[in-house]
């Protein structure tokens, strides 16, 4: 009887050890100054003129947002909204001179709390450094 209990315990423990899937890697790509019809994954009218096969593959193998919108029509305030989770009248980034201070870059902060390493690479355009990210390399002069 004790052999059966021991075997059952081992099976349960091994099943629980292998059943836990590793956390997914998250790659968030944000582009600005274009509409959904500029990316062929959305089936837009520009797909035949200017196809986007690499973005299409990311959309097919990852997540494709079909119900998302931007609360501001210019890049810095819309980027600040994504980073803070706040509308621009709350986060203070109303125009191209907007900034998101360290300690307010909630996307990076929450991802780090969840155990992820974070990086910001490319266009930042929010005046203060992206200091809440583990690593950053942004275009100079922004």
Any idea which residues carry the catalytic annotation?
75, 125
State both tokens at 60: 């097919």
Put residue 126 in one of left, alpha, beta given phi > 0 → left and psi -120 to 50 → alpha: alpha
Listed in sequence order, the residues at least 6 apart from 78 whose beta carbon sits closer than 8 Å to its beta carbon are: 32, 70, 71, 72
Say how far apart CA 64 and CA 60 lie, in whole Å: 7
132 φ, ψ to 5°? -80, -5
- 17 contacts: CB under 8 Å, gap ≥ 6: none
């Amino acid at each position: 009887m004790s052999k059966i209990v021991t075997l059952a315990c081992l099976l349960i423990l091994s099943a629980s050890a292998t059943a836990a899937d590793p956390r997914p890697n998250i790659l968030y790509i944000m582009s600005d100054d274009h509409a959904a019809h500029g990316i062929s994954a959305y089936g837009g009218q520009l797909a035949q003129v200017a196809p986007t096969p690499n973005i299409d593959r990311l959309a097919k193998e990852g997540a494709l947002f079909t119900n998302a919108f931007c609360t501001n029509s210019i890049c810095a305030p819309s980027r600040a909204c994504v980073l803070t989770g706040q509308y621009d009248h709350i986060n203070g980034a109303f125009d191209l001179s907007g900034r998101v201070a360290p300690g307010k870059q909630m996307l990076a902060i929450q991802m780090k709390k969840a155990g992820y390493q974070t990086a910001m690479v490319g266009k930042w355009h929010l005046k203060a450094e992206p200091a809440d990210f583990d690593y950053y390399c942004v275009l100079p002069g922004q």
